[in-house]
Chain A
Amino acid sequence: MMTLAQRVQPHPQVVDTVLDGEETVLLHLESKTYYSLNVTGTRIWQGLKADRSLQEISHQLQAGFAVQGAHADRSVLTLVQELLQHQLVHQVDAD
């Protein structure tokens, strides 16, 4: 079960580009599959690329989108779970 205490990083075989700051297109170079993230997903993905913890990313969402903590936590965990499923990210050991 994924928790906010865990850390994940983008998979090295994934390249991405952000469009107008609101959408991110990801390409997994091995599977040749494209993915698209909306504005919330873009914020989370940028946080992962900056090597922030899932908790820090959730806090940033709360501040940036004026949402409650539980909602932000859920958004982060749901997306990260999906990213793991598609091997777009991988777990790293916590500090």
Chain B
Amino acid sequence: MRHVPIRPAPGAATRLQPEVALLLCCARTGLDAVTAERFHVLLQHDLDWSHVLSAALQHGVMPLLYRHLQTLGPEVIPAAVLTQLRAHFYANVGSTLVLTGELLRLLQLLETHGIPARPFKGPTLAVSVYGHLALRQFNDLDILVHKADLPRLTALLITHGYQLPLTRAKAAALWKHHYHYAFVWEESRVLVEMHWAFTRRYWPVPLDPAFLWACPAPVSLTGTIVRTFSPEALLLILCVHGAKERWTLLKWVCDVAELLRRHPTLAWEAVMEHARASGGVRILLLGLSVAQHLLGAVLPQEMVHRIQADPVVQALTVQVRAQLCASLHGLPGTMDRHTFYLRTRERVQDRLRYFLFGYLRECSLLLLSSAHLLTPTAQDQPLLPLPPRWAFVSSLLRPVRLVVVHGWRLVTALLKHLPGW
């Protein structure tokens, strides 16, 4: 496959504030000549460093920012800023070491008791994709296990100082509809998410377990070898996770871009085959497209053509980019969650499932919460002003407006690809 780098659309970068452009430049482990030059130009601006640091921390790219500033521009930025950034960097180093130590202890415990486990994200992602533990921010551990092992694993972890703060009913509900249990280690409040899947049942992307558990990739964590997912499986997992979170953090885009940089010769046929089997082709293409357009990730020509052939992926890429850039600017986003989740699925059955068990379920929960439903907002005011004693009409109009506006939009997104539509 021939790899094709694609530059951002002309004019796209000029709409960004220099602080945001700087963060996008830094959100990668290595800077090519063009990006390094752009980086130097941006450093000449009178930057709002407080905003740069705050956005970098929020979006999980502070270590990369620190690394590049320390290497390429320490004399240009204010000394106080570099000191503050260094403090955050070392605090992150400390935090990653605590989590890494706990991950190694956990994996040893699970292995001793014959419970297969695959860590992903967190320390293993930092080392396998970024090349160093300190270059990624993470604050919990994620481990995939077989669902059948969960009862035994739960008992084991509780015996060894972990808490699972759930009622029996809540645990049963999570088991049925959710995809992980969140354990907390009492001693140091480390959060460990034990996954049996990657998404909720109403927005399923059922990656083939045989594909996930096969061909583990070894990763050295402070000298101890652990096994994580193959790069192909990890790419799918990262794209699924990013879509589930609506790509609201820059570090998730960075994860995909860095994986592509580190593994330019992936088994793309296998990736596509498993994406197709789980109804995740559009999710995969969206992740690739976002990484390409925001961070200059290089994709094989076939993937570029697939992205260009899917107008929904291109539209979603624009939407995600706008949402992320707004967030980096400190502005609120406007992406509708339900429409996004529907549009990312190419199969009708997945759209229908989400519409029925995701969207309608949430609507019914809202109906039960009558305070929210009947409290009018500015959009619920009638066209003509009403006398005070008729003000209650606005409360009655609200649920009608919600159903008409949002329901129609979602039904449209749901039916988009039905024959004859």
Contacts and interface: CB of A to CB of B under 8 A. Distances in A.
Interface of A: 13, 15-17, 19, 25, 27, 29, 32, 34, 49
A77 to B, nearest CB: 24
B182 interface: no
Nearest to B126: A17
Q: What interface size band does chain B fall in? A: 10 to 19
10 contacts: A15-B100, A15-B104, A16-B222, A17-B97, A17-B133, A17-B134, A17-B222, A29-B102, A29-B105, A32-B98
B136 to A, nearest CB: 12
Contacts of B134: 17, 19
Given A25-B94, A29-B102, 8 more contacts: A15-B101, A17-B97, A17-B134, A25-B90, A25-B97, A27-B97, A32-B98, A34-B97
B97 A15 contact: yes
Nearest to B98: A27
Interface string B171-193: 00000000000000000100000
Contacts, number: 36
A65 B102 CA distance: 36
A17 B104 contact: no
B406 interface: no
Given A16-B222, A17-B134, A25 B93 contact: yes
A25 B86 CA distance: 14
A66 B221 CA distance: 32
Contact of A15 (B90, B188, B222): B222
Enumerate the 3 nearest inter-chain pairs by beta-carbon distance, A residue then B residue, closest first.
Answer: A27-B97, A29-B101, A15-B222
Contacts of A29: 98, 101-102, 105
Nearest to B223: A49
B132 interface: yes
B101 A27 contact: yes
A27 B93 CA distance: 10
B323 interface: no
Q: Max chain A CB contacts within 10 Å: which of B97, B100, B188? A: B97
Contacts of B133: 17
B69 to A, nearest CB: 14
Contact of B93 (A13, A17, A32, A49): A17
Contacts of B100: 15
Contacts of B101: 13, 15, 27, 29
B105 A17 contact: no
A25 B95 CA distance: 11
A53 B275 CA distance: 51
A17 B223 contact: no
B128 interface: no
Interface in B186-203: 188
